[in-house]
Amino acid sequence: MSKKVKTTPDAEVKEEETPKSKLRETLEFLAPIIIALIVAMILKYCIFANAVIPTGSMLNTIQKGDRVIASRLEYKFNEPERFDIAIFKYPDNEKELFVKRIIGLPGETVNIVDGTVYVTGTDGKTMQLRDDFVSPENKDSYNGTFVVPEDSYFVMGDNRDNSVDSRYWTTTNFVSRDKFVGKVMFRYYPFNTAGKLE
C-alpha cells in the first residue's frame, strides 16, 4: 500500500511566493513602453507630419502659431494637386520646412499680373486661377512669369503680400516632387478652429 505524501503549509506558501526574475519583471515593464515608442515613430516618420506654423504667410487660412497635421502617405500614392496645402523642404535651406499652397504644376507657365495669377497648361490653354482663399487685405500687385520644370511645382502663400514663396527664392523658384513631406489635412490647435483645411 503506497504512502501518502503530506505537503506542509510552509511548502505551499514557498511555492506560491516564488518571485519572478528581475529580468522578466523589467522586460514586462518595458515592453509596452517600447511598443508605444515604435508605433509613435512609425506614425511620425511614415504616416503623419506635425508642424507648428511660425509665420503669417498663410493668413487667413492658417494663423501664426497654428498646429497642423499632414499626411505623408498622400504623396506616396498620389501626385500633388493644384491648391493642395503642402509641407516641403525649403529650397534655400532644406533643414527648414515650409507650408504653402500649390499653384503651378509640372510643365505649366505661371503668369502673375498685378497679383492676379494666370496659368497656361501643357495643352496651351490659359486660365485665371481662383483666389477666394486670399483675403483682400492680403493681396499684392506682384508681376512675374515662371515656367515650371517637369517634376516640380510652383507654390505661394495665401498671404500674398507677406510670403516668402516661389516668387522670391534664390536657389530655385520651384519645389521638386521629392522635396514634399506631406499634404496638410487638419488643424488640431487651437481647438476652437480645429478642422480640415482646404
Q: Which residues are catalytic?
A: 57, 100
Phi-psi region of 195 (alpha: psi -120 to 50; beta: other; left: phi over 0): left
Neighbours of 162 (CB within 10 A): 12
Q: Is 97 exposed, middle or buried (0-12, 13-18, 19+ CB in 10 A)?
A: middle
170 within 8 A of 92, measured Cβ to Cβ: yes
Say how far apart CA 58 and CA 45 lie, in whole Å. 24
N- to C-terminal Cα separation, the chain: 88
Query: Looking at residue 111, what DSSP letter applies?
Result: E
Instruction: Report whether 72 contacts 179 (CB < 8 A).
Output: no
d(CA 96, CA 42): 21
Tell whether omega for the bond before 60 is within 30 degrees of 0, i.e. cis: yes
